[in-house]
Structure 1
Amino acid sequence: MERSVLGTSGIRVSRICLGSATFGVAPDATSAGAMVGAALDLGIDFFDTADVYGSTPTFDRPGLPPAGERESAEEILGRALVGHRDDVVLASKSGERRFDATAGLSRRYIAQQVEQSLRRLQTDRIDLYYAHFPDPSTPLEETLAAYDTLIQQGKIRSVALSNHAAWQVTQALWIADDRRLASAPVAAQVQYSLLHRKAERELTSACQKFGLSIVPFAPLHGGLLADLAVLERPVAGDERYGGSRFDDREVAVARALADLADDWGMQMQHLSLAWLLAQPTVASVIVGAETPEELQANASATDINLTAEQVAHLSALTADLAD
């Protein structure tokens, strides 16, 4: 498994990261433990989670305990990593306010949440700690100062921003530099795929300029960029989370990608992931596989070396989405 360095942190991570957003749901808690073991066997040493993953109403499913009664993804992941903690890079997040009006990025909330995450993850430190979403009610100076304290205490190693705009990333860097803080962000997590290229409008350029890494989530766009069979499922795309199904443009791009995969003798998910990994700012790509077999198929994308012409051809499929 190839590795890369996260921004200026010096932290080396596998180029495939196992995401745990649906741990406890799909896969269930037992299967999630097997998934972590499969990831370690494949050389994946980067794991992504958050304080709200797995146990919120977003992931309610028939036959499962309701939100609040399920184990959180952090608990499941922490248990699965017992005995392996020193061998992995662990990322978590806090600050999502959809399910908790008291959440955010205030000093008090961050201090409370990091302690809870450490307990659930059964660890004494988090390697990469994300601000999950911007918090307009809290000055960014306060947030970064809180992270700086946690770094000094050894509870987190590096800071990152998730779902933040380029100007917010730049502002955070300026504040950290101006105040000589150790909490300058080293990475940005954002939705990024052949079908979601808004990051290229400003964020990728800002990250490249200032030396941050990008860690994309939803790289296969709900599975559409991995297998056209997803179109036959009764619930697909963002319908899984109360959103909309794939639109005609997305389906057309997926069919074109499938044709290219046939022409080039490759698999769709390999093209999708290899295209992302070829982007200069991308350090690692988060995959949310549901079975060890699916994870292995995704992980093997790191063995694909696309030519510059192939990368350009793939980019041209959705060039308008980057404008």
Structure 2
Amino acid sequence: MAITPAPQPSAITPTTAWDRLWAEGRLHDNLSAKEAGLPDTYLPDRGEDAYDRPRKRRVRRDMAAFLLRVRAEDLQLADQLGWQLQAVPPAWCSIVLPSRTPQQLAAQVAKANARGQELARRLGVGFVPPVDRRKQRLLTFARDEAGRRFCPRQVASPGQHIPDSVSTAARLPGGGKGVDVLDTALPAYYSPGYLPGIGGGTDSIGGDDLRLAYVGILVGSARVNERAWPTALDCYLVEDLLRPAEVIEYASRLREGMKAGWTTKREAVEAATKFAGDSFDLMETHRRCRE
């Protein structure tokens, strides 16, 4: 099926807030949340500088138009995700599509959920996937919109790297290498060396950690609201943790906890959900190990 390129500003009839934003000015203009018509939560908290002054929070015009369009699909849920949605275009256009098809990504999610289901079965509890249908629908819409706006040529050739096919707003900062947290879609507190109340600093995030965080946000497996920074484990450890024996051993430990009374059924359900999310992240890290 032919892919229709994203319309250029001059070709748009500005009938919606996002079309008007897309049509006005230059796409790389940096806007405040107010100028973009977005709540502050859509712009990552950049912390303070060395003089305790809040750093400016800005968003590119084309990214802001994308966020407005996604917000219109499910305002309440989109507002809950907020800044996380800025990670969707680079994750989809610059990380996932050059390396796999959407079907392969879906299979990876299904395999991770199957591990969570198996753990829940062994514990005798129900399984709740990391992403419910509502969130899955919105994230799917967001990635489709990102592809339409920022990388239609890459969308047309999934699983193959198409040079110069991704617009600036959807390019992975640092080219997959280490990058200053202030240049990412993540808040300042995602910097590995972040300490509350201490300003300044230009802490660098490793390329593997950055990719893992972005793809986790894309599929909803990342527990970003817990401020949990993903760690790129050694490849041999990743392979060990993905073996079926890990499910069996973990289930055994949790069952002992349930018998002893220090693990409830509700906590067991939560553990299975977390196990599925962690499994996806491990699979994503394993992909990098094989490259």
Regarding TM over 0.5, the answer is no
Structure with greater Cα Rg: 2
**Larger % of helix: which?**
2
**Larger % of strand: which?**
1
